[in-house]
Amino acid sequence: MGEKHKNRAVIEIDEELLNDISDLIRSNSEVLLQNILADIYPADIALIIDNLEDEESYWLFKILDDNTEAEVLSELVVNKRDYILDRLDSAAISSIVGKLDSDDAADIISELDEETAGEVLSKMKAEDSSEVKELLAYEENTAGGIMQKEFVVIKTTDSINKAVEAIKAADPDDDGIYHVWVIDENSRLKGTVSLKKIILALDTPTMIIADIMNTEVISVDVNTDQEEVAEIFRKYDLIVLPVVDKNQRIVGRILIDDIIDVIQEEYEEDVAKMVGSAAGEIESRSPVQIAWMRLPWVLVTLGIQFLAGIVIHFYDETLSKVILLTSFMPIISAISGNTGLQASAMMVRGLALGTVNPARWLNAVKRSLLISLIIGLTCGMITGAIGYIWYGKILFGVVVGLSMCISINISAFLGTTTPLLSQKMGFDPAITVGPFETAFQDVIGITVFLTLSTLALKWLM
């Protein structure tokens, strides 16, 4: 397979290419398309399929060779993969997943209905089926749920020759063998040996592994949350990490490419929560399902925004006397809300990456307030100057400028402290950085502005 595809190139998937592919599909140019796809990486083929109409995507998928089919299927977005899987029988699915790494195979089988999954597993090789069943038993977002079963182990008492034999016995297509894990007589993880050390020790083939292994091996428990696993990879600059059970016996490995997927998944999830939505909703749900999923968030936000309407109604007299005040309300509300959202986003990011320690929350709050003070003073002076020019009275400029500055700082304080409080109470901080908090910040901005305006009204008039 490597020889066949040695001339593959990275390409740009643009509208012109997609149109050409669609034209070739409609003309049933199977051979020509196969020749074209042979020079394209599976990830790019998957992107092409993702952007085709459903029938076209299935037709293109079916003309791929067996190995490419497997690689492409694992790269497709959820809804497109589901569409293709629904049209394949259990034997075809079994053949495809049998060519994948155990973690990718488990991911695909977990998306099937119970009956189909059982049929697929029954048609797989006993060893592959056993590995996939083991992975499916773990929680999806844990180390056990994202690990793969392909790894090489040797004992502390084994020789260099024995280690080489173990490596040769591994899957020849496995590009993730960077280390050989070392275990004791009870199968407990004791250390690791890099391939480089084994190669350098080939001139002394009878040397014992215990003499060259590194005993300072970092491992992770099968039940560790995937976000924590990602943080371990980042902190220690790892490319592979062994996964152990409660008895310290190695049960799998996690590669850096799996962690990149985790980081992307967690990022999308946090962004979705920030805007009051759900991760992956576009890819896996219908418009009606998406609407019903978003509606509760929107309705709650609508209720909060009605508070702004009540506040404005309460100050009708003030607004009727100085109509120009209405021009500044949306400005102050928008800027203070945006500043608060920025503060929230930075705090959530800091908590997620570990750069903000909840135990030292006061330092984070002080830093955020210093930043918001600078922003508030700057925006306040600009807004105040414009207010003075528009209305012709210094006090009006002072009111709108002071309102802007105070609103920004209050919003930033809420934006900084709310995620900290949410985490302390056991909630996901990302949930608070969205429509609820922004809506409250809008209400605060309007309330501060109109209250100060009312107090200063006798001088304004």
* Distinct helix (H) and strand (E) counts, the chain: 24, 6
Write down the pLDDT at residue 21: 92
- The yes-or-no verdict on residue 342 having pLDDT over 50 is yes
- Of the listed ranges 111-125, 157-171, 406-420, the one predicted with least confidence: 406-420
403 — pLDDT class (breaks 50, 70, 90): confident
More confident residue, 359 or 58: 58
What domains sit in the chain, N to C, each tagged with a CATH number? 15-143 (1.25.60.10), 153-270 (3.10.580.10), 286-460 (1.10.357.20)
pLDDT in tens, 215-260: 999 999 999 999 899 989 988 989 999 999 999 999 999 999 889 8
Cα angle for residues 186, 214, 192 (degrees, 5° grid): 55
Please choose, from the candidates 261, 251, 75, 263, the residue with its C-alpha nearest in 3D space to the C-alpha of residue 148. 251
**58 pLDDT above the threshold of 90:** yes
| pTM of the model as a whole | 0.65
pLDDT-based confidence at 395, cuts 50/70/90? confident
Percent of the chain with pLDDT over 90: 33
Asked whether the predicted pLDDT for residue 49 surpasses 80, the reply is yes
- Indicate the burial class of 203 (C-beta count within 10 angstroms; 0-12, 13-18, 19 or more): exposed
Percentage of residues in the chain having pLDDT higher than 70: 82
Mean pLDDT of 44-69: 91
Q: Is 142 helix (H, G, I), strand (E, B) or coil?
A: strand
Instruction: Report the mean per-residue pLDDT for the chain.
Output: 82
pLDDT number for residue 385: 93
Q: Can you give the pLDDT at residue 85?
A: 93
